[in-house]
Amino acid sequence: MNAWRHHLFSRSPISMLIIIGIASVIANTGWRVVMNNFAVDTVGMTGANIGVLQSIREIPGLLSFTVMFLLMLMSEQRVAILSLCLLGIGVAITGYLPSIYGFYFTTVLMSIGFHYLEAVNRSLSTQVLETESFGQSMGMIREASSFIGLATFIAIILAIQFFDASAKTIFFFCGLTCAALAVYLLSFAHFKEHKVEQKNNIILRKEYSVYYLLTFLGGARRQIFVAFAGLLMVQKFHYSITMMAVLFMISSLATTLTVASIGRFIDRIGEKRALMIEYVALAVVFTSYAFVENHYLAGGLYILDSILFSFTIALATYFKKTIRSDEIASSSSVSFTINHIAAVFLPFLLGLLWVSNYQIVFFCGAIISCMSLMVAFTIKSEPLNSQTIKQV
């Protein structure tokens, strides 16, 4: 923890990455903790409605390649700040529109900010952080985000228990904090983002096909967790807002305690082995979701799932070692779009299946994890770095 705190106030590029992560996690934490309860108890949404909501939420992700047009007008740093502000505003106003279509609207608004931010932030991280310690540095940034996420969960629980805070209040203050941090980042000096001048056109290359495919499958698999693991807790096990907040808090604490070690572990064993470990474990977790009957065990699976998410650092390091140095920004936005292709239609289709048999949804997650494992077997032990690719 001392490592990221040392960088936090340095007003350096890595400081900006840490603050971006912190602001984003505050907004997303507030949204995630109460969205299922808000959707079911306040708005009156069904599993099918929530499937539609999650599909709509991913449309901006599918269109995230359009961030390239913004990059023609302003720097990645400014696009990141603008996106962060939009994310905060979208979350802040959610509680003021308590209807199905109002929830759809605010979800799209915050999603535009979130997905543009993620596309640009991935590019910034790849360019700013050194290859040799990339996993460790990403682990440090995620550790900071996880710690602040934990603090946010605690604040939400205390607000509910002592002040009877509503979902509307939680949405508002989490979103407002995110937007305020975005405004604060405007005071940072503009730093040079590119060691190599970036191409601004959309690029697809056959040599990146393994990365594209893992990104596509990862997006599909992640959406099943995001859209339906929390819904399982609320609908089947009747978790309250407080219980969901506690679950997220424990998940965040577990991630905080493990993510830095996972980053170092990935640097040590390599991306291929790390990804294979992740995919095998996820197949087991998704299968277990389908059969779990005890709410404590279900919560334990959710926590384990959250910890395994840290292994996606391995895909980020594979990206850094594989993508040509002058195609980082373009490839980042394209890969982020690929990540969301399945995410647009999958939650909607699985939401319909959820109504008849929720177990099928998690079986699909297990199958996708197995498909990812098969693709991971094709990864070369030593991915080509950008300099080597240029010579091919």
Which of residues 174 and 259 earns the better pLDDT score? 174
Distance from chain centroid for Cα 66: 19
Cα–Cα distance, 28 to 87 (Å, whole number): 9
- Predicted confidence (pLDDT) at residue 55 exceeds the cutoff of 50: yes
For residue 214, give both structure tokens: 């893992």
Confidence (pTM): 0.70
For residue 16, give both structure tokens: 């900006």
Q: How confident is the model at residue 366 (pLDDT cuts 50, 70, 90)?
A: very high
Cα–Cα distance, 282 to 217 (Å, whole number): 12
- Predicted confidence (pLDDT) at residue 151 exceeds the cutoff of 60: yes
pLDDT reported for residue 382: 56
Mean pLDDT value of segment 188-206:
62
Cα–Cα distance, 164 to 145 (Å, whole number): 26
Report the 10 Å Cβ neighbour count for 193: 18
Which ranges in the chain belong to alpha helices (H)? 2-8, 13-37, 47-62, 67-71, 76-92, 100-128, 134-163, 167-185, 209-224, 230-235, 241-269, 271-291, 295-309, 313-322, 328-339, 341-356, 358-376, 386-391
What count of Cα atoms within 13 Å lies in the side-chain half-sphere of residue 167?
22
At which residue do the structure tokens 């705190």 appear? Answer: 5
**CB burial string 243-252: b at 16+ within 10 A, e below:** bbbbbbbbbb
- Predicted confidence (pLDDT) at residue 212 exceeds the cutoff of 70: yes
Chain mean pLDDT for the chain: 83
Q: How confident is the model at residue 83 (pLDDT cuts 50, 70, 90)?
A: very high
Report yes or no: 214 and 272 within 8 Å, Cβ to Cβ. no
How many domains does one find in the chain?
1
- Predicted confidence (pLDDT) at residue 179 exceeds the cutoff of 90: yes
Q: Judge residue 186's burial from the number of C-beta atoms within 10 Å of its C-beta, 0-12 exposed, 13-18 middle, 19 or more buried.
A: exposed
Report yes or no: 97 and 103 within 8 Å, Cβ to Cβ. yes
Element (H, E) at 10: none
The pLDDT tens digits of the residues spanning 69-79 come to 887 888 888 99
For residue 356, give both structure tokens: 């008849």
Structural domain containing residue 186 = 2-391
- Predicted confidence (pLDDT) at residue 132 exceeds the cutoff of 80: no
CA angle 18, 24, 25 (to 5 degrees): 90
Q: Which range (195-204, 268-277, 297-306) has the least confidence?
A: 195-204
Check which CATH number belongs to the domain holding 224 and give it: 1.20.1250.20
Cα–Cα distance, 326 to 197 (Å, whole number): 6
